[in-house]
Structure 1
Amino acid sequence: MFTGLIQSVGVLHRLEPRGGDVRLSLDVGTLSLAGVALGDSIAVNGVCLTAVMLTERGFAADVSRETLNLTTLGALKPGARVNLEKALTLSTPLGGHLVSGHVDGVGTLLERQDDARSWRLRIQAPDELARYIAHKGSICVDGISLTVNRVEGAVFELNIVPHTLEQTTIGDYRPGTRVNLEVDLIARYLERLLLGDQAAASPPTGSRLTRQFLAEHGFFGQ
């Protein structure tokens, strides 16, 4: 588990194809690897990866075909900057929100506007994730815990303060940039709990958590 608070911006040193998947070698920048052991988890742009090799300046991790297909990692080039966070411990302040490092989909930046010293971003999420994105709810973008300011269908808006711009890769974003998205973990579990016994009969794609379903179970007034 992670918090979505980025601890360092690293750099991709090498991307090595290996029998259909790849091995990433990364320089971790200012991230301390003290206490990190082989097999430990580190989030790279919001993707939970396992350290299979450690060096003085970084680590290497294998990325499966599944992860390459569902995230932006396979499109990275040597020299690309990435957001890094070590797995949280029981003593870690939970300043962001609970993040699993399991990417739900890839979004696209539609628009970037200056707003005083901040930026406002509009991001298009995959349609199937729209039901999990709520006004003033949490979302993880490339591993960064952020608050949703506005939602219009599958498009949501974020306000990025100067500190976040300086300490993450968001300052590199331009319209068309593809980003890893992880929706609020609680929303996913809530959906399954509300479905109750119907969850076992649900299709593998889509959701039965509709407005009609919620109305039938007393979530809307008469």
Structure 2
Amino acid sequence: MFTGIIEETGSISAILRNGNSIRLTVHADKILQDMKTGDSIAVNGICLTATGFTASTFTADVMRETIVRTSLSHLRHGSIVNLERALSVNGRFGGHIVTGHIDGTGTIIKMERDTAAMWYTVKTTSKIMGYIVEKGSIAMDGISLTVAKTARDSFCVSVIPHTMEHTALVSKRIHDTVNLENDYIGKYIEKFILDGKENSSDLTRELLGKYGY
């Protein structure tokens, strides 16, 4: 479990392809301080397992399913990536609940500066847009962001200078691909409602509306 608050950026120091899988070596600093083999690390929002580490790098194996669903295939030697360790039980919950299980990708179609902030417009699939609501949360390359606007096939987020300076967003350009993870609560509510129609569950749209959902 993650929060979408990026701890540091790292860089890809090696990519070893083996059939349908990839072994990544990532150069890092802060997140290595208490690392153990088997730890979960979010790399651009993707939950990966550290299979080994040194004083300055860690390795992770990526299977075909993850490669197909994410932007990992776009990474190259030297690519900058967002890094976050799994949430500790005594840590502060500064973002929102992020699982590291990517729902799909989006494409940056517009970038516009507004005084100090930067507006990003991201185009994505109707399936992902179905779970995005104005003022709701979205994890973009692992960064917890608030959705400012939505359209039929795109959404907008406004990014403050601190986030720009401390994440890999600073290196993103128009047409770049980003990983997207919807707020998982909406997906569970949808499932309960759909299952409720078949199983006569007490959880209904009317009941959720009554209590402000």
- Using the size of structure 1 for normalisation, the TM-score is 0.88
Aligned to 1:69: 68
Aligned to 1:43: 42
Q: Could you give the per-residue CA deviations for residues 12-51 of structure 1, whole angstroms, max 9, x where no partner exists?
A: 00000123211000101x3232322111100000000000
Aligned to 1:90: 89
Distance in 1 (alpha carbons) for counterparts of 2:125 and 2:48: 23
Aligned to 1:142: 141
Matches within 5 A, 1:17-36: 17-28=17-28, 30-36=29-35
* CA distance 1:199–1:112, shift in 2 (3 Å): farther
Contact 1:51 1:61 in 2 (8 A): yes
Contact 1:192 1:199 in 2 (8 A): no
Q: Which runs of 5+ in 2 are unaligned?
A: none
Structure 2 residue 190 is the aligned partner of structure 1 residue 191: yes
Aligned to 1:152: 151
Distance in 2 (alpha carbons) for counterparts of 1:111 and 1:32: 32
How far has the Cα of 1:195 moved from its partner? 1.8
Aligned to 2:7: 7
Contact 1:129 1:154 in 2 (8 A): no
Q: Could you give the per-residue CA deviations for residues 179-213 of structure 1, whole angstroms, max 9, x where no partner exists?
A: 0000001111111122234478xxxxxxxxxxxx9
How far has the Cα of 1:131 moved from its partner? 1.4
* AA at the equivalent of 1:48: C
| CA-atom RMSD in angstroms | 1.8
Question: SS of the residue aligned with 2:30?
Answer: coil
Question: SS of the residue aligned with 2:170?
Answer: helix
Q: Could you give the per-residue CA deviations for residues 109-156 of structure 1, whole angstroms, max 9, x where no partner exists?
A: 010001001101100121111111000000000000000000111210
Range with greater deviation from structure 2 (123-132 or 38-47): 123-132
Aligned to 1:58: 57
* AA at the equivalent of 1:97: H
Aligned to 2:126: 127
Distance in 1 (alpha carbons) for counterparts of 2:180 and 2:150: 15
Distance in 2 (alpha carbons) for counterparts of 1:218 and 1:102: 26
How far has the Cα of 1:218 moved from its partner? 8.4
* CA distance 1:188–1:199, shift in 2 (3 Å): farther
Distance in 2 (alpha carbons) for counterparts of 1:27 and 1:199: 50
* CA distance 1:34–1:199, shift in 2 (3 Å): farther
* AA at the equivalent of 2:155: F
Contact 2:141 2:178 in 1 (8 A): yes
* AA at the equivalent of 1:132: Y
Count of equivalent residues: 206
Contact 1:38 1:53 in 2 (8 A): yes
Contact 2:119 2:158 in 1 (8 A): yes
Question: SS of the residue aligned with 2:89?
Answer: coil
Q: Which runs of 5+ in 1 are unaligned?
A: 201-212
- Using the size of structure 2 for normalisation, the TM-score is 0.92
Distance in 2 (alpha carbons) for counterparts of 1:51 and 1:91: 22
